[in-house]
Amino acid sequence: MNRKEFFKVSFAGAAAIAAASAGLTACASATRGKDAKSPAGKLNLSFQENTAPGETYGEKLDFMENLGIAGLELWGGGLAGRVNDIRQALNGRDIQVTAICAGFEGFILAEDPAVKAQFDTTMREIVRAAGELGSTGVIMVPAFNNQKPCRPHTLETRDFLCSELHALGEYAKSCGTTVILEPLNRREAFYLRLVGDAAAIARDADSEGVKVMGDFWHMQEEVSDYGAFYSAGKYLQHVHVASRGNRLMPGEDGEKDNYRDGFRALKELGYDKYVSFECGTQGDRATTVTRAVELLRAQWAEA
Ligand code: MG
């Protein structure tokens, strides 16, 4: 599943996408992001918009509540135009907005100033809406392999990235949320592959608004799940989970789907954010999703 597909299968009830242009003015209103965390030591699960079965937004949220799913991860494209719909849908429910998954245009390491400007404008628009929704942060990848022309992979580019992230992080902080660097695997994004490297960039960006995440699917790059999460330490703000062979629901790849080593690090860190599903399924969705939740809770208890 790629992010375009994710977008296509997002909730039908929130299809009205406003492509309002964004200003770069400071955002002082929202502060809920800092509160969007759950008790440490507990496995707080989150679903993306297409994870739960159901024809309508309401049916999907009912399914999530019945399973005790604490969070909802939203697609970032057009988020500003969906804020009110999302608030209404979650009103009275025990489900929080977790991370916002990308959705911006352009990319931060673009060599073309117009493409970089596209990123700056659309990313800040999403960050602002994320703050209004109390999101834990907006997920971003510095550069996918297919995004060209891209700044070269040099020390100067890293310095540039840290400087740009500092400004973006401070903006996110002023909006009550964060930006979250997502390392991917080398086939998708050679630039940033390791959770520990992302955390070092976040440290050097020197802003409380710059965080990182680990995705169990992409973490095939890591030598150790435990070491990867542990090295992220206080910068760890979000986790994605999928089966470890074919990116399906956890459990659909059988014995490969072992998350205990990573979960042990999360427990030791006192990680209090969310573990969010980012995966498809080959089975009956209601069945595979329910089994996946049971599997993750069992492994969390064992970790
Ligand atoms: Mg991911």
Residues with CB under 5 A from ligand 1 (ion): 215, 240, 278
Report pLDDT digits (tens) over 227-274: 999 999 999 999 999 999 999 999 999 999 999 999 999 999 999 999
Shared-domain flag, residues 79 and 113: yes
Q: Are residues 268 and 290 in the same domain?
A: yes
The chain-wide mean pLDDT, for the chain, equals 90
Which residues constitute the domain of residue 9? 1-38
Q: Are residues 179 and 96 in the same domain?
A: yes
The predicted structure's pLDDT at residue 27? 45
Q: Is the pLDDT of residue 198 over 90?
A: yes
Question: Are 72 and 36 contacting, i.e. CB atoms less than 8 angstroms apart?
Answer: no
pLDDT at 41: 79
Residue 217 has pLDDT above 70, yes or no: yes
* 55 and 177 fall within a common domain: yes
Residues 8 and 66 in one domain: no
Q: Whole-model pTM?
A: 0.88
**Per-residue confidence band for 26, with pLDDT thresholds at 50, 70 and 90:** very low
Residue 215 Cα to ligand 1 middle (Å): 5
Give the residue among 260, 196, 190, 283 at the shortest CA–CA distance from 231: 196
**Backbone torsions φ then ψ of 98, nearest 5 degrees:** -100, -115
Tell me the CA–centroid distance for residue 240 and ligand 1, in Å.
5
Tokens of 58: 């309401």
Q: Give the pLDDT band of residue 38 (cuts 50, 70, 90).
A: very low
* 275-299 burial: b if 16+ Cβ within 10 Å, else e: bbbbbbbeeebeebbbebbebbeeb
